Amino acid sequence: MGKLSGKSIAIVTENGFEEVELTSPKAALENEGASVHIVSPQTDQVVSWDKKDWGKSFSVDKPIKEASVNDYDAVLIPGGVINPDHLRRSEEAIQFIKSFFEQGKPVAAICHGPQVLIETGKLKGKKVTSFFSVKTDLINAGADWSDEECVVDQGLVTSRNPDDLPAFNKKIIEEILEGKHEGQKK
Q: What gap in Å lies between CA 132 and CA 19, rounded to an integer? A: 19
Q: Which residue in the list 37, 86, 111, 150 is annotated as catalytic?
A: 111
Based on the residue annotation, tell me whether 150 is a catalytic residue of this protein: no
Cβ atoms of 167 and 148 closer than 8 Å: no
Give me the phi and psi of 172, to 5 degrees please.
Answer: -60, -50
pLDDT of res. 184: 67
Domains of the chain, each with CATH number or no CATH: 8-185 (3.40.50.880)
Instruction: Give the model confidence (pLDDT) of 69-84 as tens digits.
Output: 999 999 999 999 999 9
Instruction: Report percent pLDDT > 70 for the chain.
Output: 98
Classify the C-alpha dihedral 41-172-81-44 as positive or negative: negative
Instruction: Give the model confidence (pLDDT) of 73-126 as tens digits.
Output: 999 999 999 999 999 999 999 999 999 999 999 999 999 999 999 999 999 999
Cβ atoms of 105 and 121 closer than 8 Å: no
Q: What is the largest CA-CA distance in the chain?
A: 43
Whole-structure pTM over 0.75, yes or no?
Answer: yes
Based on the residue annotation, tell me whether 112 is a catalytic residue of this protein: yes
Give me the phi and psi of 99, to 5 degrees please.
Answer: -60, -30
Q: Which residue in the list 37, 86, 112, 181 is annotated as catalytic?
A: 112
